[in-house]
């Protein structure tokens, strides 16, 4: 992984915070909303991986949309650049300022109100600084389900999730973060507030602006509120762990699972034996659900909003029948169905333990890529070969959201190799992986975004036409380039 800022710094506006601007900021957000000392600012300007440490003239923490609007208007008047930030859990440095940044870091963390939960209309109106897990719990208290679910949910904030169009383990069924949104409120680079906070499933009145701001990583404006869609709470969940013949079989299993589950496939996560072994080495208390000696596994979860009734078929009966058919067809070699919440939880702990285990294991590399679902087996074959050609002793442990065509194509460094030595191979491996992804019509950043880390890769791999459209939009909406400058695009 790139462990530092790209060497070529993009043009970013450098208007500093004068004493007058600081006074004006204080007048808007009050003392409690302004952090100016280095120590206080440090957690905000450091990305959570600890890899990037940026600069800032001040951290500003507004308490309302009105305050955000006033702060942005002030910055706009003085050409002061703004880095918006939610829970600061991004993986690409999108919420971390460049070291040369002398403007403000605008944290949404104080704006954490839930305004409305509408269980009949399956919608919820919230402020950008709400922590994702809190929103999941709020929905649950109303017997509803907010499907967005990812590792950082205890600290990431919904505004950041939407700005990065977060993915996670429920995308297969419910879509990316952008699919969970009915309406948005956004503060524009000139301080104007766009009130698109409509709770409408259908609205064909001009350009769809909300989809433009989602995934823009704060470069076109600051998301301050959202109307989120809700779903019925799952009541009957069946989690299974399958040893599968190979990734092709995994795809065929998924393809047939849609119908067999009556369109109730919730998650379908591919794991390699090497990933599982690494996780078992490092995550205490986790059990291997199947002692099989085969390289590929699938965590398959089906869930229904209908509670089981006696005498009717529940999810686990459907799953049992399905797995019997798949064993018969030779796609599944062995399988275990979670017979208790504890057993199902254990399967999920394996899947979710990958990030922590890889940190404990030592130096490594990981690529968050996607291809068309049906190309996954071919990508795995060719990708492993390309990387092993460069560094034969590297230890692959691929895993990922196979139902989304999204692999975390991951590698532990060779046994005994230190980070510095591994770094010598990183550029070549990254290029090989991304060249392959691109040649297969895939994406070099399936869910983690661009931020700072992939700025140069985006400009290398996307067509001039595509980059031109993006730049044209950025320049039109933020002509001063004050909104999260030097992220996503070099303008």
Site for a copy of itself in 163-202 (CB under 8 A): 164-165, 167, 171, 175-176, 178-179, 188, 192-202
Quick check: 350 and 301 in contact, CB under 8 A?
no
* CA dist., res. 47 & res. 49, Å (int): 6
Q: Which range of residues in 134-142, 268-276, 289-297, 458-466 is near a copy of itself by CB under 8 A? A: 458-466
Residue 154 structure tokens: 């205890």
Binding a copy of itself (rule: CB under 8 A), the pick from 444, 452, 482, 483 is: 444
Residue number, 137 or 262, with CB nearest to a copy of itself: 262
Of the ranges 262-270, 275-283, 388-396, 427-435, which one interacts with a copy of itself (CB under 8 A)? 262-270
Distance CA 160, CA 187 (A): 14
How many beta carbons lie within 10 A of that of residue 75, not counting itself?
Answer: 28
- Does 120 sit near a copy of itself (CB under 8 A)? yes
3 state DSSP class of 82: strand
First and final C-alpha spacing in the chain? 24
171 vs 336 by CB, closer to a copy of itself: 171
**Of these, 114, 384, 473, 491, which contacts a copy of itself (CB under 8 A)?**
473
- Out of 45, 319, 450, 482, the only residue in the binding site for a copy of itself (CB under 8 A) is 450
Q: Nearer Cβ to a copy of itself, position 385 or 471? A: 471
Stretch that binds a copy of itself, among 2-10, 228-236, 344-352, 353-361 (CB under 8 A): 228-236
Is residue 294 within 8 A of residue 324, CB to CB? The reply is no
Stretch that binds a copy of itself, among 214-222, 286-294, 346-354, 428-436 (CB under 8 A): 214-222
Q: Which residues, listed in sequence order, are joined to residue 442 by a DSSP beta bridge?
A: none
Residues 354 to 413: which contact a copy of itself by CB under 8 A?
Answer: 370-375, 401, 403-406
Q: Is 9 in the site for a copy of itself (CB under 8 A)?
A: no
The residues that bridge with 265 in the sheet, in sequence order, are 302
Is 301 one of the binding residues for a copy of itself (CB under 8 A)? no
Residue (of 297, 320, 322) closest to 244 by Cα position:
297
CB of 431 to a copy of itself, least distance (A): 16
Considering beta carbons, is residue 198 or 395 the nearer one to a copy of itself? 198
CB 156 within 8 Å of CB 87: yes
Task: Report the 10 Å Cβ neighbour count for 56.
Answer: 28
Least spacing, CB of residue 342 vs a copy of itself, in Å: 25
User: Crossing angle, helix 341-352 and helix 354-361, to 10 degrees?
Assistant: 50
Closer of 206 and 330 to a copy of itself (Cβ):
206
Structure tokens at 68: 């955000």
| Residue 1 sits in the site that holds a copy of itself (CB under 8 A) | no
**Structure-token pair, residue 345:** 């939880």
Q: Is 469 in the site for a copy of itself (CB under 8 A)?
A: yes
For the segment 29-88, give every residue that binds a copy of itself (CB under 8 A).
none
Axis crossing angle, helix 419-439 with helix 376-390, rounded to the nearest 10: 140
By rule CB under 8 A, what string of x and - marks binding of each residue 414-433 to a copy of itself? --------------------
Task: State yes or no: residue 215 binds a copy of itself (CB under 8 A).
Answer: yes
Listing DSSP states for 227-286 in one string gives: EEE-EEPP-EEEEEEEEES-HHHHHHHHHHHHHHTTS-EEEEEEEEHHHHHHHHHHSTT-
């Amino acid at each position: 992984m790139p462990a530092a800022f790209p060497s070529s710094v993009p043009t970013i506006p450098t208007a500093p915070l004068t004493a007058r601007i600081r006074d004006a900021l204080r007048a808007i957000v009050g003392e409690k909303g302004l952090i100016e000392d280095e120590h206080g600012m440090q957690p905000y300007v450091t990305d959570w991986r600890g890899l990037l440490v940026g600069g800032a003239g001040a951290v500003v923490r507004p308490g309302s949309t009105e305050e955000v609007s006033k702060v942005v208007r002030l910055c706009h008047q003085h050409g002061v650049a703004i880095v918006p930030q939610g829970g600061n859990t991004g993986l690409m440095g999108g919420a971390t300022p460049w070291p040369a940044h002398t403007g403000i870091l605008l944290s949404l963390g104080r704006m954490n109100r839930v305004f409305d939960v509408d269980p009949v209309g399956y919608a919820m109106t919230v402020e950008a600084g709400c922590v994702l897990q809190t929103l999941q719990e709020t929905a649950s208290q109303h017997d509803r389900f907010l499907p967005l679910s990812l590792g950082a949910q205890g600290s990431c904030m919904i505004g950041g999730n939407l700005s990065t169009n977060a993915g996670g383990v429920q995308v297969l069924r419910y879509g990316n973060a952008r699919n969970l949104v009915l309406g948005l409120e956004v503060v524009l680079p000139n301080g104007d507030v766009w009130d698109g906070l409509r709770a409408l499933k259908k609205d064909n009145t001009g350009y769809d602006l909300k989809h433009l701001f989602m995934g823009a990583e704060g470069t076109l404006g600051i998301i301050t509120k959202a109307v989120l869609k809700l779903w019925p709470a799952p009541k009957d969940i069946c989690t299974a762990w399958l040893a599968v013949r190979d990734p092709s079989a995994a795809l065929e299993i998924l393809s047939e699972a849609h119908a067999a589950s009556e369109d109730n496939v919730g998650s379908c996560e591919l794991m390699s034996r090497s990933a599982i072994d690494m996780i078992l080495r490092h995550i205490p208390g986790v059990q291997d659900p199947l002692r099989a000696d085969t390289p590929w596994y699938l965590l398959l979860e089906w869930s229904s909003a209908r509670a089981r009734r006696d005498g009717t078929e529940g999810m686990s009966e459907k799953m049992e029948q399905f797995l019997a058919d798949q064993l018969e067809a030779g796609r599944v070699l062995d399988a275990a169905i979670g017979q208790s919440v504890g057993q199902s939880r254990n399967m999920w702990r394996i899947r979710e333990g990958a990030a922590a285990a890889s940190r404990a294991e030592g130096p490594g590399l990981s690529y968050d890529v996607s291809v068309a679902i049906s190309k996954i087996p071919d990508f795995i074959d060719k990708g492993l070969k390309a990387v092993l050609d460069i560094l034969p002793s590297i230890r692959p442990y691929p895993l990922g959201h196979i139902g989304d065509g999204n692999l975390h194509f991951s590698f532990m460094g060779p046994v005994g190799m230190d980070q510095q030595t591994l770094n010598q191979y990183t550029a070549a491996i990254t290029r090989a992986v991304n060249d392959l992804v691109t040649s297969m019509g895939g994406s070099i950043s399936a869910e983690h975004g661009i931020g700072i880390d992939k700025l140069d890769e985006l400009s290398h791999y996307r067509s001039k036409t595509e980059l031109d459209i993006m730049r044209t939009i950025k320049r039109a909406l933020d002509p001063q380039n004050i909104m999260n400058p030097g992220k996503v695009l070099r303008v």
